[in-house]
Amino acid sequence: MKLAVDVRRHAYDDLLVLSDVSFTVADGEVVCIVGPSGCGKSTLLGIVGGLVRPTDGTVATEGALRPGTLNPVTFVFQDFALLPWRSVRDNVGFPLEHHRLSSADREARVSDALARTGLADFAGALPKQLSGGMRQRVGIARALAVEPALLLLDEPLSALDAQTRELLMDDFGRLWMGAGITALYVTHNLDEALRLADRIVVLSRRPGRIKDIVSVGIDRPDRTAVAAAPRLAVLRERLWSLIRDEAASADREMARA
Amino acid sequence: MPEGQALQPERRPVAFRGGGFLPRTSRAVGAIGFAVVLLAWQGALAAGWISPVFLPSPVEVALALRDLAASGELWRHLSISLYRIVLGWSFGTAAGLGVGSAMALFSLARSLGMPMISALFPIPKIALLPLLILWLGIGETSKVATIGLGVFFPTAIATYSGIDNVSRTLIRMAQSFGIPFGAIVCKVALPGALPSILSGMRISASIALLLVVSAEMIGAESGIGAFVLSAGNLMQTDQLVAGVAVLSVLGLLVGAALSAAEKALLSWR
């Protein structure tokens, strides 16, 4: 599914949060949005997913959906957003409940999503019994169960420790490869962006504007290879030089506020 | 090492300073404390330090309880009190859940409800009993209505704040999957508010107990409250204290039932 984002303006009362943010995402492409804290990254994702009404702007998707797609535009949240009173299985099945599905289809979707995220053995567990990484795997399984055409990931790894983050990035790469899922991925972590994105949209501090769009241009599976390290370092330096001053002044601004 | 030797006089052990603030409960100590109080009470009466006119001995209270239970008198009063509590509490809880949910979900209900609840909640509900008796008569309805009113406010507030405090992300998650409004209320908002609703029930249950006794002391021939009051008027202190002991047990049982409900329903926390 293709995506065209054109947010001319978004403001909370008098506070301008986003200004002239337009870009497109091609079918099957993974685009990361990076920028300093408070630059409106998550708000932008909310607008794209129809959870926030933009002050002035439009978001459109284009492309035929597979017949199994129940929720074309699907979120994965930073704090996992699991229902704590439901087991892993019932959390993954939650978005299926208001769809007319045969119980066999429902169960097949849930167990397939659990298997793909390595959660099959934890189906009966409650969220509180799981580690952060496992909880986010549940969030991902829940998103996969509705067969999304566009995944919106809102800092999905920010609440996790560095090692777990590393493991989940591997999982993302594996899940996306060949799945043809289009994804918009918000993060403040440049390494995450460089590992997962086809292109990286760099936003300025508030009001968020597009500073640059950077293509990574290295095959995703090759990026963990030692040979790719110098090229990635150059890209990282370029991204950091774009963000550095913005982040510093955003930091000072927060201290004043 | 020479340096180490030189430093020797300066060497001090780091003293432990992390103690305290870890109180533990011991059932045995609690039981012993109880026994000591009962023995002291019995002993003070036996020694003649307290006049039996003002305070019966624990043994007399136990005997009075046994007689009341055997004659069916206890059950007659207890059952009518329980009937009033259950009826009043159910009405008050149903109304409180409805109004509290509406206030948490709809702007109009919230705008109307907040000032009204703020204004009416502080009124001790027993003060309304005379008015309710004027409106509804001296019979069961006015007592049940008093209890219902007393239960309504804490339930409405607990439901309102419980739903209001359900994580915004969970609501957005449900919306992002296109879950309809009604299903979000039933499957996300209400279960999320359950801890708050159950602790509201703890408060409303004790209010119901308080109000049933008060109402029965004002205008009733039967019920534990009426029984305790008439025992006092007749100077039957053994009966009086027996009635009070029954109320204590009733309160404990309700608390235990709510704890069991919390354990069963909130095991996910």
Across the interface, do A83 and B175 touch by the CB < 8 Å criterion? no
Q: What is the mean pLDDT of residues B126-132?
A: 93
Residue B133 has pLDDT above 70, yes or no: yes
CA atoms in the 13 A half-sphere facing the CB of A103: 0
**CA–CA gap between residue A1 and residue A66 (Å, rounded):** 10
Average of per-residue pLDDT values in chain B: 93
Nearest CA in chain B to A99: B179
Nearest by Cα to A35 from A207, A215, A231, A256: A207
Q: Are A223 and A194 in contact (CB under 8 A)?
A: yes
Average of per-residue pLDDT values in chain A: 90
Across the interface, do A97 and B169 touch by the CB < 8 Å criterion? no
Nearest CA in chain A to B268: A85
| CA pseudo-torsion sign B234, B235, B238, B244 | positive
Q: Are A228 and A217 in contact (CB under 8 A)?
A: no
Across the interface, do B177 and A49 touch by the CB < 8 Å criterion? no
Q: Say what the pLDDT of residue A177 is.
A: 64
The set of residues, in sequence order, having a beta carbon less than 8 Å from that of A215 and lying 6+ positions away, is: A198, A199, A200
Q: Say what the pLDDT of residue B6 is.
A: 57
Chain A: closest CA distance from residue B169 (Å): 6
Q: Say what the pLDDT of residue A205 is.
A: 86
Chain B residues in contact with A76 by the CB 8 A cut-off are none
Nearest by Cα to B242 from B254, B230, B253, B255: B230
Chain B: closest CA distance from residue A201 (Å): 23
Q: Nearest Cβ partner of A51 from B175, B187, B269?
A: B175
State pLDDT tens for residues B76-97: 999 999 999 999 999 999 999 9
Chain A residues in contact with B169 by the CB 8 A cut-off are 77, 79, 81
Residues in chain B whose beta carbon is closer than 8 A to a beta carbon of chain A?
167, 169-170, 172-180, 183, 187-188, 191, 194, 268-269
Q: Is A250 helix (H, G, I), strand (E, B) or coil?
A: helix
**CA–CA gap between residue B158 and residue B152 (Å, rounded):** 10
In a domain, B229, yes or no: yes
Q: How far is CA A155 from CA A14, A91, B176, B224, in A?
A: 26, 20, 16, 60
Structure tokens belonging to residue A218: 């290295």
Q: Say what the pLDDT of residue B7 is.
A: 58
Least confident of A51-60, A174-183, B253-262: A174-183
Q: Are B101 and B191 in contact (CB under 8 A)?
A: no
Nearest CA in chain B to A52: B172
Nearest by Cα to B159 from B119, B196, B113, B107: B196
Chain B: closest CA distance from residue A104 (Å): 21
Q: Say what the pLDDT of residue A111 is.
A: 95
In a domain, B131, yes or no: yes
Q: Say what the pLDDT of residue A210 is.
A: 92
Residue B35: alpha-carbon gap to chain centroid: 25
Tally the residues of chain B: 269
* pLDDT over 70, % of chain A: 97
Residue B1 has pLDDT above 70, yes or no: no
Confidence of residue B5 (pLDDT cuts 50, 70, 90): low
Beta strands A30-34 and A182-186, pairing class: parallel
Q: Nearest Cβ partner of B176 from A51, A85, A98?
A: A51
Which helix (H) or strand (E) segment is B88 a member of?
Answer: helix B73-105
Chain B residues in contact with A138 by the CB 8 A cut-off are none
State pLDDT tens for residues B50-60: 888 889 999 99
State pLDDT tens for residues B232-248: 999 999 999 999 999 99
Planar angle of CA A46, A48, A49, nearest 5 degrees = 65
Q: Say what the pLDDT of residue B208 is.
A: 96
Confidence of residue A255 (pLDDT cuts 50, 70, 90): low
Chain B: closest CA distance from residue A228 (Å): 37
- Interface mutation target, options B165, B166, B173, chain A, most CBs of A under 10 Å: B173
Q: Are A157 and A168 in contact (CB under 8 A)?
A: yes
Across the interface, do B167 and A146 touch by the CB < 8 Å criterion? no
The set of residues, in sequence order, having a beta carbon less than 8 Å from that of A191 and lying 6+ positions away, is: A236
Residue A256 has pLDDT above 80, yes or no: no
Nearest CA in chain A to B169: A81
Confidence of residue A251 (pLDDT cuts 50, 70, 90): confident
- Interface mutation target, options A85, A130, A147, chain B, most CBs of B under 10 Å: A85
Chain A residues in contact with B183 by the CB 8 A cut-off are 97-98
- Interface mutation target, options B166, B176, B269, chain A, most CBs of A under 10 Å: B176
Sketch out chain A's domains with CATH numbers.
Answer: 29-63+167-257 (3.40.50.300)
Nearest CA in chain B to A82: B170
Q: Is A56 helix (H, G, I), strand (E, B) or coil?
A: strand
**CA–CA gap between residue A214 and residue A216 (Å, rounded):** 6
Residues in chain A whose beta carbon is closer than 8 A to a beta carbon of chain B?
46, 49-51, 71, 73-75, 77, 79, 81, 83-86, 94-95, 97-98, 126-128, 146
Q: Say what the pLDDT of residue A9 is.
A: 92
Boundaries of domain holding B63: 58-265
Chain A: closest CA distance from residue B206 (Å): 28
Chain A residues in contact with B179 by the CB 8 A cut-off are 94-95, 97-98
Q: Nearest Cβ partner of B268 from A79, A84, A94?
A: A84
Total structural domains within chain B? 1
State pLDDT tens for residues B160-203: 999 999 999 999 999 999 999 999 999 999 999 999 999 999 99
* pLDDT over 90, % of chain A: 68
Nearest CA in chain A to B182: A98
Residue A38 has pLDDT above 80, yes or no: no
- Tell me the β-bridge partners of A200: A32, A214
- Tell me the β-bridge partners of A74: A151
Q: What is the mean pLDDT of residues A172-194?
A: 85
Convert A109-123 to b/e letters by CB count within 10 Å (16 or more is b): bbbbbbebbebeebb
State pLDDT tens for residues A136-151: 999 999 999 999 999 9
Q: Nearest Cβ partner of B176 from A74, A85, A98?
A: A74
Q: What is the mean pLDDT of residues A196-208?
A: 90
**CA–CA gap between residue B197 and residue B199 (Å, rounded):** 6
In a domain, B165, yes or no: yes
Across the interface, do A83 and B187 touch by the CB < 8 Å criterion? yes
Q: Are B240 and B228 in contact (CB under 8 A)?
A: yes
Q: What is the mean pLDDT of residues B123-142?
A: 92
Structure tokens belonging to residue A55: 């002050």
Residue A176 has pLDDT above 80, yes or no: no
Q: What is the mean pLDDT of residues B105-121?
A: 95
- CATH number for the domain harbouring residue B178: 1.10.3720.10
Q: How far is CA B182 from CA B36, B55, B98, B171, in A?
A: 57, 58, 14, 12
State pLDDT tens for residues A62-102: 988 888 899 999 999 999 999 999 999 999 999 999 999 99
Q: What are phi and psi of B4, to 5 degrees?
A: -60, -45
Beta strands A2-12 and A150-154, pairing class: unpaired
Structure tokens belonging to residue B232: 């006092």
Residue A245 has pLDDT above 90, yes or no: no
Across the interface, do A74 and B177 touch by the CB < 8 Å criterion? yes
DSSP string, B163-200: HHTS-HHHHHHHHHTT--HHHHIIIIIHHHHHHHHHHH
Confidence of residue A200 (pLDDT cuts 50, 70, 90): very high
Across the interface, do B177 and A146 touch by the CB < 8 Å criterion? yes
Convert B108-146 to b/e letters by CB count within 10 Å (16 or more is b): ebeeebeeebeeeeeeebbebbeebbeeeeeeeebbbbb
